[in-house]
Amino acid sequence: MEKMQNEKFEKKDDQQKIYGQLTKTTLIGLVLMTMLLASLFGAVFGLMSAGAVNIFSLKIGQKIGQYFPKVDLHKINPEVSRQQVIVEDSAVIDVVENVSPAVVNIVISKNIPNAANSFNDPWGFFDPFSSEPFGGSNGDTQTDQGTQKRTIGGGSGFFITSDGYILTNRHVLEDQQADYTVVTNDGKEYVAKVLARDPVRDVAVIKIEGNNFPVATLGDSDVLKIGQTVVAIGNSLGEFSNSVSRGIVSGLKRNLSAGSGFGDSERLTDIIQTDAAINPGNSGGPLLDINGNVIGINVAVAQGAQNVGFALPVNQAKRIIDQVKNGTKISVPYLGVRYVMIDQAVQEETQLPFNYGVLVLRGTKMTDLAVIPGSPADKAGIVENDIILEIDGQKIDQKNQLGDMILKYNAGDVVTLKVWHKGETKDIQVKLEERKQ
């Protein structure tokens, strides 16, 4: 009996040993199989998600950039960053390729007495863009009158019609005794005829004979925003034709006095400031937005400064363009008053009832009358010490100055002035007349 029980226990122990061995083998197999499957699926899903990782990493990079501005996105995803640069450059390249054919060089030449060649040219008739001491001899022609036709300057312009109308700066065409030659983008030369010089704005229109010229599209300078990208094209330094520079709109509604280098100057108002490089010779060339529309006419650069250039808003030129296209005489309206702008400081000093508008006031000389006799203002009954507050319902202030507002009209237009006269405010109808040149 005891022997049978011992055999029974021995069999049970053997079964437990066998079960234990099987259990260990099974566990090891399961672990190995799990590792194998994990590796296999990891590789498969890794390949499947490779394309998504780039996009995901870009979003992570953008999120990180909100909190850590110094993070280099090139290190996170250099390919996406490179593509972004290519897109930005492509937009500028498209603008240049589309508009450059419409941009021209304007060469200024004049008959100069030969005696001027025997000494340093005191009259300013030298080519400031040449490396030669007297402007060089390229293009010079000897005449029978003892003079020599020489290049004395250069500028830029651009086609506004396909039949040869070109917009430029008035100061480029300032010399009425000079001859002007247009050199197109393909190197062809044309004799230019001056059609109009705006006596107030630094704008002029010339024309060459021909058809099917490429035309630059005029934009709307009234919708410009500070910081937006702009492109300038022009005959930089009078030597490097169709030079391109890129920048931003640095400021709007700037006012300054600009000199031409010949001792004269003019006041420019409500102009565009840009950090796009503008050099001598760029004058008259277009300032373009990123869509290739002309939003300004390059006009001046600040001397002694870096990246401070200026352009006339193209909307200021549209009046003269329309007049030239319609074949009408270029006329500039005027009111005929001398005045002082009123602001908070002037109001407090003079105890005036308004802090805006203009006070009609005579100047320091006997001839500096407050109201020009026979002028539109005189005919309308405006007198000294009147305050002109509004034109056609628009307030006159530092942003909307009287002279600039008048220039938006044409000679012959009737405007309504709100005038404070001896303690009473009233509306006065005034018919603008042409300013005598």
- Among all residues, which ones are annotated catalytic? 171, 202, 283
Residue of 212, 284, 290 lying closest to 249 (CA atoms): 290
The 10 Å Cβ neighbour count of residue 309 is 26
Contact status, residue 156 vs residue 168, Cβ threshold 8 Å: yes
Q: How far, CA to CA in Å, does 183 sit from each of 44, 59, 242, 285, 387?
A: 65, 51, 11, 13, 51
Indicate the DSSP class of residue 160: S
Token representation of residue 28 = 């090891």
Contact status, residue 399 vs residue 301, Cβ threshold 8 Å: no
Contact status, residue 149 vs residue 140, Cβ threshold 8 Å: yes
Letter for the amino acid at 363? G
Spatial separation of the C-alpha atoms in residues 110 and 145, rounded to whole Å: 13
Spatial separation of the C-alpha atoms in residues 316 and 218, rounded to whole Å: 12
Token representation of residue 268 = 């420019």
Spatial separation of the C-alpha atoms in residues 255 and 244, rounded to whole Å: 25
Spatial separation of the C-alpha atoms in residues 158 and 106, rounded to whole Å: 10
Spatial separation of the C-alpha atoms in residues 194 and 323, rounded to whole Å: 14
Residue of 330, 358, 332, 328 lying closest to 343 (CA atoms): 358
Contacts for 228-231 with beta carbons within 8 Å, 24 or more apart? 228/289, 228/290, 229/91, 229/92, 229/289, 229/290, 230/274, 230/276, 230/287, 230/288, 230/289, 230/290, 230/295, 230/296, 231/92, 231/95, 231/96, 231/276, 231/287, 231/288, 231/289, 231/290
